[in-house]
Amino acid sequence: MRKLVVQPYDGMTPVLNIISGAKSTLRIKQFTLTDPIIVDSIVAAHVKGVDVRVMLNPKRPDGKRENDETMERFKKMNIKADWTNPAFIVTHEKSIVADSSVALIATFNLAAKYFSETRDYGIITTDPEQVSQIADCFDADWTRTSYIPGKYVGLLWSIHDSRTRIADFIDTARKHLYIQHPKFVDVPILDRIVHAKARGVHVHFICSGKHGVQEWDRPDTFSSFRIMHNNEIKIHVLKAPKLHAKLIMKDGESAIIGSMNIHRRAFDERRELGIMIKDRPLIEKLHAQFEEDWKLTEHFNVPDPLEKAESDIRIEDIWI
């Protein structure tokens, strides 16, 4: 069984329900965990006797350390907490597993702005094989051992198979590709999308425009958008809510949601987690949400990728 979370509409309630519902174990792996209400809920689970373990990414690519205060709080409460596996330059995965029976796979971080300002998604799954894989990967990262997924159960893992799974997903599209991704730094996936358009697939791409793209990613991202535009792929920008989601949907039948941007580092260097879904009610809801968002977008006049970054792009506007 799976459920869809849509932000900012659903807020933090689905997250709090999973945490407060844990009876024996709670495993949390996050890129950013700073929301005080969620932090309090994790502390409360620990106090009531739940075996809580938390892994937090130590710093962002720009060096900013957002999780230090949360880590200090957990340590003071004697909660088992550690930094994520140093084998990866960044752990961007956003997952929670409770009682080895339910898991959340999200595109959103556990920080206040992702529950009020951004378009994001999450999938809550009770599929035993999916939950087991996420828990097994947590244990491997916790003990600093390698993790190689076994049987494919609908999950996409970086650094193992996420690019290949996404490429195959695009290659099998027949009619439509709906894509919501804030950045684009991967030529193999660009090639797949352009070829999909060439064979007659209708491609609609929603991006975040100039905001949400670090200066060092702008040349690749904007060049990719220009190539798609030159191949008659519609590139639109969603300004409100701010786009942080990572979604690819095909033919109104299936979708991929996960933490990974379309970015070579997300595929090759970072710990990332995504999920492919075919549940009809969830796909119908995602399709309707994309259509609603498309109506709120405007054509993105892609800038010259070599132009100097605008000075009005603030660090708080960078969404990872």
d(CA 204, CA 86): 37
Residue 157 parent element (H or E): strand 155-158
**What are the start-end ranges of the H helices in the chain?**
13-21, 36-47, 68-76, 128-142, 162-171, 187-198, 218-230, 264-268, 280-296
User: Fold identical between 2-153 and 157-317?
Assistant: yes
Q: Decide: helix, strand or coil at residue 198.
A: helix
d(CA 276, CA 153): 9
d(CA 28, CA 48): 17
What is each CA distance from 113 to 7, 32, 108, 132, 318, in whole angstroms?
A: 10, 11, 9, 30, 12
Contact 222, 148 (CB under 8 A): no
Q: Give the pLDDT of residue 313.
A: 47
d(CA 1, CA 13): 19
Class of domain 2-153: alpha beta
Q: Supply the DSSP symbol for 269.
A: T
Please state whether beta strands 272-277 and 254-258 pair in parallel, antiparallel, or not at all (unpaired).
Answer: antiparallel
d(CA 149, CA 237): 35
Looking at the domain 157-317, which fold is it? Answer: Endonuclease; Chain A (3.30.870)
Q: Domain residue spans in the chain?
A: 2-153, 157-317
- Residue by residue, DSSP assigns 42-107 as HHHHHHTT-EEEEEE----TTS---SHHHHHHHHHTT-EEEEPPTTSS-B---EEEETTTEEEEES
What are the tokens at 284? Answer: 């119908």
Contact 122, 247 (CB under 8 A): no
Cis peptide bond upstream of 241, omega within 30: yes
User: Nearest-CA neighbor of 193 among 213, 209, 176, 217?
Assistant: 176
Q: What is the pLDDT along the chain (320 residues), one digit of tens a residue?
A: 899 999 999 999 999 999 999 999 999 999 999 999 999 999 999 999 999 999 999 998 888 999 999 999 999 999 999 999 999 999 999 999 999 999 999 999 999 999 999 999 999 999 999 999 999 999 999 999 999 999 999 999 999 999 999 999 999 999 999 999 998 999 999 999 999 999 999 999 999 988 777 888 889 999 999 999 999 999 999 989 999 999 999 999 999 999 999 999 999 999 999 999 999 999 999 999 999 999 999 999 998 888 765 544 444 444 56
The pTM is what?
0.94
In sequence order, the β-bridge partners of residue 176 are 202
